Amino acid sequence: MKYLLIVDDHADIRRLLSITLGRQYEVLEADNGTAALEVIRRYHPMVVLLDVMMPGELDGLDVLDAIKADPASKDTVVGMVTARGQQSDSDQARKRGADAYFIKPFSPLQVVSWVREHMP
Amino acid sequence: MNRGGAIWPDTSSRDARILLIVWVTTALLLLVTLLHVYSLEKEDRLRVLAAADRDLYNLTRVSQEHSNRTFRSADQVIRFVQSRYLEVGPKLNLADLSARGVIDTQIFNQVGVIDEKGIYILSNLPLKGKMDLSDRDHFKVHVARETGEMFVSKPVLGRASGKWSIQLSRRISRADGSFAGVVVVSIDPGYFTRFYADLDLGSKGMAALYGLDGVARARMVGEVADFGANADKSPIFSLVEAGGQAGSYTQTSVVDGVERLYFYRKVPGFALVVVAGTELRYLLEGHVAARDALYFQALLLSVMILFLATSLTYYLQKIRKEIASRRLAQLQSHERSMQLSAIFSMSPDGFVSFDEGRRVKYVNPSFCRVTDISPQSLQGLDEADFSARLAAQCVSAARFKGLGSMSRPDLAAGSMEVDIIELVGTPKRLLQVGLLQGDTASVPLILYFRDVTQEIEVGRMKSEFLSTAAHELRTPMASIYGFVEIVLADQDLSDTHREYLEIAYRQAQVMTHILNDLLDLARIEERHGSDFRYAPVNLQELLRSVVHALPIPVGRERPGLNLSTQALVVVADEGKLRQVLVNILSNAYKFSPDGGAVDVVLEVQQVEGIRMACMQVSDQGIGMSAEQIAQVFTRFYRADASGRISGTGLGMSIVKEIVKLHDGQVTLASNLGMGTQVSVLLPLAAAGSASEAAV
């Protein structure tokens, strides 16, 4: 099974992404960083769409670091979906291993086409 | 302000006392000088007079002896003739005696005998006829009786000789005592005066031989000799009568009006007195010269004393004035420092000043209140102790690093080095610390503390708010935008619903742009370019890349490039510069809806003597009126009032802010319907940076 994980504390955003992607992929959801890492450990999703600013112990960048640090998950494709719009933010995320950087508000159709590139 | 009076007591009464002492001393010195001169003069005068007295004593002694011997030898002659006459009678040959030298005719003019009837019967000189001398004193005095003494007559002018003479006579008494006649010797009184002329008595001296009858036998006053003058007014006679044998006195002469010192001496055995006098002025000549010299010296001394006293007075007054003006200046500076300390004590900012030894000199109340350090515990601390004391009040993350780290020798006087420290305790307190290098030696360092908690907190809250707002606005926008996009993708949508949703979708896009631009602008303003990453940027390369990546509206040409062949390099944040060019170029397309070429020119321009890179974007669009140009940098101003052209109204504001932070200028030239030219001028990098960029 090819899994796709959506991590965001906002249920509306998770729903927006899941209704566009859910038709083609098996979609998993998590509303905080700790839960996201648990899901990744258990289901090994191919692609993770990751919010940066989330309540809880781990924010999106921490989760990104954890994914890239673990040999079991380091090949996971990560797309950041965030409200942080600065060039410096996206630069930093790419440096830490993110494959794409979507700034909110984003085009769901663009996200779908990007995911399709990585999950045929 | 009574403190001023207490600190500076009035000294004018003391000064007056000093002046009084100076002048009393001066008066005393002058008095002592005067008395000393007087006593010296008197002493000298007495010494001179005593010497003169001694001289006159000796001279009168000589004169007395001379008179005495003269009269004694005359008496011998008289006694010899007397005894010979008694032996031989009128046959006595006096001329023969004279010729044989028994009678000295050098002294005695004439020697003769008068008989008892008064007839001059014998003479050493030839007699011319019968001469009756019975009426003469020197005859008459002997007639009655034997006196036993030689008679000395007053000088008489001789009837026969026509010369002055003094007659000396003795009675010739027979064995029975009867009167037999008189022996007479005439003596020339000039014999005495010639002797007096030989005495050194000075030019106006005098010498005389007086009879106790008050008649001068011979007298020499100055160069003038006279005989027979009445001198009974002279004090000599009363002195002799009182028993005086010799003595001196001072008197102004009745003869010639000259004041003299006289010395008299009685001639023993005769009723005669000799006297010698010297002019006082002559006597005192040396004394007067010495006295005048003394007076002159005394005068000089007095003048010097007076000069000293006057100078002293002058300088005392001058010093007093100087002290007064210095005191005034000190008073003024004292008042000024009181004023300053009043100002410092009222200031809401903290101040700590250090003295020349770099020890704490002054701490104002605000500093103590803000830092909770008591002023007593700081007084006199040196730099290191003070820094440690203040650092102890700070949290470790923002500790006071100490004066040493702040004061730098290269720091110009009056300039300030600034640091921020955070104090321990709640609420959080942040202090800005400034170090002011004073330009005077007495106040070399002043530390300045301002409570900037609020300012910094406000800044922090503003950026926190911006970041929160971004998150909180972007997320709901993402839902609106995203869901509308999904619905629009539905093929079964009615045309009307599709049209409505497309409007909503477009407006959501506009809102996103506004949000992005606002956040950009706010961030630039907040950071003042502090987060810009400056590096040399080659403008040719930048323009080519921007034009290449620019989204071009359907049916339009890419901008034409006319770039300077010379490599133009500026120091800039490339990303921001890219934003500037994208904003200007997208405006060029937006505001030329009817098409036409968009051109980009890069060239060098001289602006006020500085070489600047000029990037110019021109379009053939709708252009702007002068009013519109004036408004173009106003936020949310949109040149297109119709709403047909989308935009946020913030693009040019962002352009202006970014260019301003690069020390550049944005200018705009346009006319309605004639297109628009936007020029961005940026200072060219120095040659070093340019070659760096070329590598």
B71-80, B227-236, B455-464, B659-668: the lowest-pLDDT one: B455-464
Closest CA relative to residue A60, chosen from A114, A106, A7: A7
For residue range B105-121, list pLDDT tens digits in order: 777 888 899 988 889 88
Q: Which residue(s) pair with B152 in the sheet?
A: B168
Instruction: Check pLDDT > 70 for residue B689.
Output: no
CB contact at 8 A, B162 and B186: no
Whether the CB of A12 is below 8 Å from some CB of chain B: the reply is yes
Q: In this predicted model, which residue has the larger pLDDT, B584 or A2?
A: B584
- List Cα–Cα distances, B366 to B141, B450, B661, in angstroms: 136, 9, 37
Q: What pLDDT is stored for residue B105 in this prediction?
A: 75
Mean pLDDT of chain B: 85
Read off the pLDDT of each residue in B332-360 and give the average, rounded to a whole number.
Answer: 86
Specify whether the CB–CB gap between B251 and B259 falls below 8 A.
yes
User: Tens digit of pLDDT for each residue in B476-523?
Assistant: 889 999 999 999 988 888 999 999 999 999 888 888 888 888 787 777
Give the CA-trace dihedral at B350, B354, B360, B362, to 10 degrees: -50
As a whole-number percent, the residues of chain A with pLDDT over 90 amount to: 71
| 8 Å CB contact of A13 and B489 | no
What's the rounded Cα separation, in Å, for the pair B570 and B557? Answer: 28
Residue B16 burial (10 A CB sphere; 0-12, 13-18, 19+): exposed
Q: Measured between alpha carbons, how far is B420 from B36 in angstroms, rounded to an integer?
A: 86
Q: Can you list the pairs that B235-243 forms with residues at least 24 positions away whose Cβ atoms lie under 8 Å?
A: B236/B210, B236/B262, B236/B264, B236/B273, B236/B275, B237/B210, B237/B212, B239/B264, B240/B212, B240/B264, B240/B266, B240/B273
Taking CB atoms and an 8 Å cutoff, what residues of chain A touch B481?
105-107
Question: Band of the pLDDT at B123, cuts 50, 70, 90?
Answer: confident
User: Would the CB atoms of B478 and A16 count as touching at under 8 Å?
Assistant: yes
Question: B475, A10: Cβ pair inside 8 Å?
Answer: yes
CB proximity B86 to A under 8 Å: no
Scan residues 22-51 of A and list those with Cβ closer than 8 Å to B. Answer: none
Confidence at B2, pLDDT banded by 50, 70, 90: very low
Q: Cβ of A106 and B486 within 8 Å?
A: no
Check CB contact under 8 Å for B475 and A19: no
Mean pLDDT across B161-171 = 86
Distance from CA of B475 to the nearest CA of A (A): 6
pLDDT (average), residues B527-540: 82
Say how many CA atoms lie within 13 Å of B430 toward its Cβ: 15
* DSSP H or E stretch at residue A113: helix A108-118
Interface of B with A in 334-393 (CB under 8 A): none
Which chain B residues touch A108 with a CB distance below 8 Å? 482, 485-486
Residue B461: pLDDT over 60: yes
pLDDT in tens, B632-654: 888 777 777 666 677 777 888 88
Residue whose tokens read 């005067």: B34
Q: What integer is the mean pLDDT of B529-552? A: 87
What residues contact B109, with CB distance under 8 A and at least 6 apart? B161, B163, B165, B186, B187, B188
Which chain B residues touch A16 with a CB distance below 8 Å? Answer: 478-479, 482-483, 486
pLDDT of residue B415: 53
Q: Please, is B153 exposed, middle or buried when counting C-beta atoms within 10 Å of its C-beta (0-12, 13-18, 19+)? A: buried
A84 chain-B contacts, CB cut-off 8 A: 467, 470-471
Distance (Å, whole) CA B183 – CA B170: 5
CA B21 to chain CA mean position, Å = 24
What's the pLDDT score for residue B311?
93
- Residue B522: the pLDDT is 76
Q: What is the pLDDT of residue B439?
A: 65
More confident residue, B243 or B418: B243
Interface touch B478/A88, C-beta < 8 Å:
no
Check pLDDT > 70 for residue B4: no
- Could you give the CA distance from residue B61 to residue B274 in angstroms, rounded to a whole number? 9
A88 touches chain B (CB under 8 A): yes
CB-based contact, B1 to chain A, within 8 Å: no
> Would you call A19 an interface residue with chain B, using a CB distance cutoff of 8 Å?
yes
Q: Please write the tens of the pLDDT for every residue from B408-445.
A: 555 555 556 677 888 888 788 888 888 877 666 666 67
Please, are residues B245 and B269 in contact by the beta-carbon 8 Å criterion?
Answer: no
B65 touches chain A (CB under 8 A): no
What are the beta bridge partners of residue B667? B679
**How far lies A34's CA from each of A44, A48, A60, B262, B356, in Å?**
15, 14, 10, 152, 62
Q: How far does the CA of residue A71 sit from the closest CA of chain B (Å)?
A: 32
B156-175: b (≥16 Cβ within 10 Å) or e: beeeeeeebbbbbbbbbbee
Nearest CA to B664 among B596, B615, B595? B615
- Domain ranges for chain A: 3-106
B554 close contact with A: CB closer than 8 A: no
pLDDT of B416: 60
Taking CB atoms and an 8 Å cutoff, what residues of chain B touch A10? 475, 479
ipTM of the complex: 0.89
Instruction: With CA atoms as reference, report the closest residue to A19 among A108, A118, A110, A115.
Output: A108
Q: What phi, psi does B303 have (nearest 5°)?
A: -60, -40
Judged by a CB distance cut-off of 8 A, whether residue B516 touches chain A is yes
Asked if B279 and B202 touch (Cβ cutoff 8 Å), the reply is: yes
| B592 CA: distance to closest CA in chain A (Å) | 28
Q: Which residue has the higher pLDDT, B693 or B144?
A: B144
Contact B222, B152 (CB under 8 A): no
* Residues B558-598 pLDDT 10s: 899 888 888 899 999 888 899 999 999 998 998 888 888 89
Q: Are B404 and B398 in contact (CB under 8 A)?
A: no
Q: Do B531 and A88 touch (CB under 8 A)?
A: yes
Tell me: pLDDT of B1 over 70.
no
Average of pLDDT values for B177-192?
A: 90
pLDDT for B690 equals: 44
> Using CA atoms, how far apart are residues B581 and B613, in angstroms rounded to an integer?
14
- Where in B393-501 does DSSP place strands (E)? 416-423, 429-437, 445-451
Q: Find out whether B647 and B586 touch, Cβ atoms under 8 Å.
A: no
Distance CA(B276)–CA(B284), nearest Å, equals 17
Q: Is A105 on the interface with B (CB under 8 A)?
A: yes
Q: What is the pLDDT of residue B672?
A: 87
Count CA atoms closer than 13 A to B554's CA, side-chain side: 0
3-class DSSP state of B234: coil
Instruction: Specify the pLDDT at position B159.
Output: 67
What is the rounded average pLDDT of the residues B198-225? 89
Helices (H) and strands (E) in chain A, counts: 5, 5
Distance from CA of B389 to the nearest CA of A (A): 39
Chain A contact present for B256, CB below 8 A: no
One-letter-per-residue 3-state SS of B270-322: CCEEEEEEEEHHHHCHHHHHHHHHHHHHHHHHHHHHHHHHHHHHHHHHHHHHH
Q: Which residues contact B96 (CB under 8 A, 6 or more apart)?
A: none
Q: Which helix (H) or strand (E) holds B79?
A: helix B12-88
Which residues have CB under 8 Å from B495's CB, separation 6+?
none
Q: CA angle at residue B111 from B106 to B112, to 5 degrees?
A: 165
The listed CATH number (3.30.1180.20, 3.40.50.2300, 3.90.79.10, 3.40.50.720) that belongs to domain A3-106 = 3.40.50.2300
Our CA angle for B580, B586, B588, nearest 5°, is 105
Distance separating alpha carbons of residues A5 and A14, to the nearest angstrom: 10
Give the pLDDT confidence score for residue B217 in this predicted structure: 92
Q: Is A23 helix (H, G, I), strand (E, B) or coil?
A: coil
Spatial separation of the C-alpha atoms in residues B447 and B434, rounded to whole Å: 6
Ordered DSSP codes for B358-389: SBEEEE-HHHHHHHT--HHHHTT-BHHHHHHH
What confidence score (pLDDT) does residue B161 get?
A: 67
What number of other Cβ atoms are within 10 A of residue B619's Cβ? 25
* Chain A nearest C-alpha distance from B645 (Å): 22
- B330 or B467: which leads in pLDDT: B330
DSSP code of residue B554? T
Asked if B465 is an interface residue toward chain A (Cβ–Cβ < 8 A), one would say no
pLDDT of residue B585: 92
CB contact under 8 A, B474 and A87: no
ω into B375 cis (within 30 of 0):
no
Q: How far is CA B140 from CA B133, B137, B144, B414, B571, in A?
A: 9, 5, 8, 133, 161
